[in-house]
Structure 1
């Protein structure tokens, strides 16, 4: 009887600990992309009135329900996503706990915790990184290095501590397998990005009437931005490698104090090329202080996916091994295709296009943790039978 009570409490604790971590992940998801410290201020605050929420109004899951999704101070709406992140994290923590710990209800659980406890803790950290990265990517189309690169470092250390994460039995083999898997994740998806860049690496804008095109640098401590028509791009979103270029068909072009007529301007990461017929003139960007034009067509470089996705898969490989890397790429691609078809059929194609690839990678990784090895075993058995 005593063990059954302890067992029940342990199940409740696993879920509600996840919900509590989910509350912290909400802080990470909101603050990290904005450059706000996750530790200062220490307490959560209302996004509307900045009221610091006291502890008794910040109970995971319950507070949102009791306050009906509103701030107790100003009555401002608190998004249901805060509740959903807490619930999702709680569910993921509980499912990890069930999968790793197995059925021990008839025995004393505490000696067994020493066997599966470290693996549960490592997978809890992994799930937290996946959830944080997913919602940050959805909101801001970025995957912060603190999650991807920092997560990869944690993944390597976790695989050394718990070699079973990457299918190994010794600490040394766990470390080596994790490093190799991280390298496979980095290199494999990087290759996909590069091939995608070659196949789909440009996006053309054609305007019915002349639009202004300009490169400005509002803050001298920040990279330049490119503005044309209703579009605005940060420099890093356009130029990730030396071979990236923007091509602008100019009816008028001004470079510093010089003016050109009908020319083609090619903007590269470190230079500007101006083509007028057979003539070509090149300007180093360091010496360009004014760059504007009138245009009817702009072609920009475009990524098949962001480099943050590459680093995200590196982190996934560090935690879960090389087979997981291959499975995650395949699963993410299938999931992305399925969701795209659903959105198109339901008339939500534009909304579906706004979902970046990072969440699909996260879903693929979650599928691997719970079903991946069984799927591989089933697939191999079917293939060998044929």
Structure 2
């Protein structure tokens, strides 16, 4: 029965070559609309099904279906909420367009492959769009998204096993190589992050005279800003990893205007401890301020989220794809950093570049890599 279905699909492709790209494009635009819900709600801990309808982040009114048509509604409304007139970020339209385009590319580039392989690839691409958007906006990667992409990569390897290393493979061999690629990607990125912390994860500042510092809540209530003489620092970026630490030396400490014993202050993501061992939860403090002479930070040069991303990439692309992705992402990161904020003290997420490089691998980069490696062997 399944073989008959595949034959029917091949006949449809031959008779109406426009049909599958059109269907996958429309399907991708609808999926992209749902991905916008995932991108907004998941990192905030909100339910994906309650409320069932999308709502405006500003006025929180639900959006009726006729004003939530993928791709068209944002353009017709000119990027504004119909209820309150608030701006709807361009990212919403871009996610829908990118998902539709990637789905079309999947069915056209892999037109000869099993339909289930194409669907598995589309699922991986959808999760890639989610991880790119969340990491770019919040510098955060949720492992559940990476694990779903990893499962999709394993499924793709089972239905199109020869693509994992360019040779004829059985489904079981494809799964084995896919799993090996996932493990290789995860371990490699963990090793890179560890080396980066040793080389670049420590920072020291020393002032001759006491310098002021303070903590304040952002206007959106979602982050804390540490204000220092040389500029503000994002709390979420400082403590992106659980083991990160910020230490102020020869410091004074005022909590809600009252001075407490200072000395050496050790900050974690949710508390500050004095050298006497007393810890003050940040959630119990309205304001913190004081002075300091020395500052030390110990933080990872790369987040653990990048390792989860490489797990998903390895499952889809294999170990050669992992190597290609790391090299290509580094080059893309250099270009992107020079074009945006590198050298200005601003953090730059690496995950979007990793996923962009993996997408390049999926749509032709593997052929280029095989030609390059074959040319020099």
Q: Aligned residue for 1:237?
A: 239
CA distance in 2, matches of 1:359, 1:238: 16
TM-aligned CA distance change 1:204 to 1:45, over 3 Å: same
Q: Which moved more, 1:203-212 or 1:326-335?
A: 203-212
Q: Aligned residue for 1:96?
A: 106
CA distance in 2, matches of 1:9, 1:246: 57
Residue 117 of structure 1, aligned match among 115, 132, 135: 115
TM-aligned CA distance change 1:3 to 1:158, over 3 Å: closer
Q: Aligned residue for 2:95?
A: 85
Does the CA contact (< 8 Å) of 1:20 and 1:86 recur in 2? yes
Does the CA contact (< 8 Å) of 2:261 and 2:274 recur in 1? no
Q: Aligned residue for 1:141?
A: 139
CA distance in 2, matches of 1:84, 1:198: 38
- Aligned-pair CA distance for 1:169: 2.3
Q: Aligned residue for 1:45?
A: 55
TM-aligned CA distance change 1:173 to 1:247, over 3 Å: same
- Aligned-pair CA distance for 1:150: 3.4
TM-aligned CA distance change 1:352 to 1:238, over 3 Å: closer
Does the CA contact (< 8 Å) of 2:214 and 2:290 recur in 1? yes
Calculate the aligned-residue CA RMSD, in Å: 3.7
Q: Please list the CA deviations of residues 209-233 of structure 1 after superposition, one character each: whole Å capped at 9, or x if unmatched.
A: 432578xxxxxxxxxx895645463
Q: Aligned residue for 1:370?
A: 363
CA distance in 2, matches of 1:67, 1:234: 33
Q: Which moved more, 1:135-144 or 1:145-154?
A: 145-154
Matched ranges for 1:136-175 at <5 A: 136-167=134-165, 169-175=169-175
Q: Secondary structure at the match of 2:17?
A: helix
Does the CA contact (< 8 Å) of 1:193 and 1:305 recur in 2? yes
Q: Please list the CA deviations of residues 259-296 of structure 1 after superposition, one character each: whole Å capped at 9, or x if unmatched.
A: 46xx555668999795xxxxxxx849699x99986412
Q: Aligned residue for 2:44?
A: 34
Size of the alignment, in residue pairs?
350
TM-aligned CA distance change 1:258 to 1:80, over 3 Å: closer
- Aligned-pair CA distance for 1:165: 4.7
CA distance in 2, matches of 1:352, 1:267: 20
1:179 aligns with 2:176: no
Does the CA contact (< 8 Å) of 1:163 and 1:175 recur in 2? yes
CA distance in 1, matches of 2:81, 2:240: 39
Q: TM-score, normalised by structure 1?
A: 0.78
